[in-house]
Amino acid sequence: MYKWLVAVLAAVLLTGCGMWDKTQDAYFEYVYPTPEVDLKMPGLAEKEEGRLARVFYPPDRQLSALLRHLKTQDSYPEKGSWFKSTLRRFSWLDGAVAVDREGEVLSRYPEEGVKKIDFARYCPEEVGVGDWRIKTRVQNTAFGPEVVLARPFFKGSKWQGMLITHFDPRIFAQLSPYAPEMSLVMDGNVLWSGKLKDLDGFLEQRPWEELLADGVSGRFNAKGKELLWLSRRAGDNWLVYVIAAEDV
C-alpha cells in the first residue's frame, strides 16, 4: 500500500538546506526509504484520490521530510546551528533538542520552550549499535497535545543520548489548505478535529490497533456520515488522517 517515491522525494529535498544535507537525505532515502501515505484506496475514483491528495499530501510531505532529516543525524550535532537550521527548515516545529541518556538537556533551540516536555521518558535503558529507530509519542501539556519524535545519537558505537523534535499537531494540520476537512488521530487521541469535532468520541473509541494491524486505510460510518481514513508510519507509531467521504 505504500509508495516508495525515492526520485520524487529526492527532488523535494533539493529545495531544502545545504548540499550536504540534501546529499545525506537522498542517500538515506535510497537505503532506508520513508513511505508516504498511499492514496490508492479500493473503490475510489481518480477524482476522489486527487481530492484526498490535496487535503493530506502537504502536511504528510513535510512529515516525511522531517523523518528523513532525523534519520541522517546519528551523532551529536557538534555545531549548534543544526538545531536552529532544523527549525528554519521545518518552521512548524516547536523545538529541536539534544538530551543525554538521563534526559538532561545538552542543547536546544529555542533555548526556552513554552510547553513543558518530559524528555526523560523518551530515553530507553539501552540502545543497540546502529539502532536509529524513531520513537513517536503524544504528550499532553497545559497548552494542548504535543507530538514528540526522538531518535538515539552515538559517539563511535556508544549510545550517548537522544535527538528530539516536537510539534503542535494543530499547527501541523494548518500545512494543509483544507485543514478544516480532516481529523488527525494518533495513539487513540484526536489531535486535530476540523469540522469533524462532533465525531471526536467516535474516533477515539475506534479499535485502532486492530484496524492498523489489518491495513493502512479503510472506511466506516458514524452519525450518518461515511468516513475515510488513511494512515502513515511515523517512526514506531502511526498517524491517521480522517476525512468525510462527502468532502471528496
Is residue 112 included in any domain, yes or no? yes
Is residue 35 included in any domain, yes or no? no
Is residue 12 included in any domain, yes or no? no
Is residue 243 included in any domain, yes or no? no
Written as tens digits, the pLDDT of the chain (248 aa) is 333 333 333 333 333 434 434 444 433 343 334 445 555 555 565 766 677 778 999 999 999 999 999 999 989 987 778 999 999 999 999 999 999 999 999 999 998 878 899 999 999 877 776 677 899 999 999 999 999 999 999 887 788 999 999 999 999 999 999 999 999 999 999 999 999 999 999 999 999 999 999 888 888 899 888 898 989 999 999 999 999 987 65
Residue 128: strand, helix, or coil: coil
Is residue 163 included in any domain, yes or no? yes
- State residue 42's pLDDT score: 57
- Total domain count for the chain? 1
- State residue 215's pLDDT score: 85
Is residue 241 included in any domain, yes or no? no
Task: Return the half-sphere exposure (C-beta side, CA atoms, 13 A cut-off) of residue 160.
Answer: 15
The burial of 7, by beta-carbon neighbours within 10 Å (0-12 exposed, 13-18 middle, 19 or more buried), is given as exposed
Q: Which domain holds residue 90?
A: 74-168
Interacting residues of 169 by C-beta distance below 8 A, sequence separation 6+ = 145, 146, 147, 184, 186, 191, 192
- CATH of residue 124: 3.30.450.20
Provide the residue type at 39 as one letter: L
Is residue 148 included in any domain, yes or no? yes
- State residue 96's pLDDT score: 96
If we measure between CA atoms, which residue out of 119, 156, 149 comes closest to residue 133?
A: 149
Say what the pTM is.
Answer: 0.81
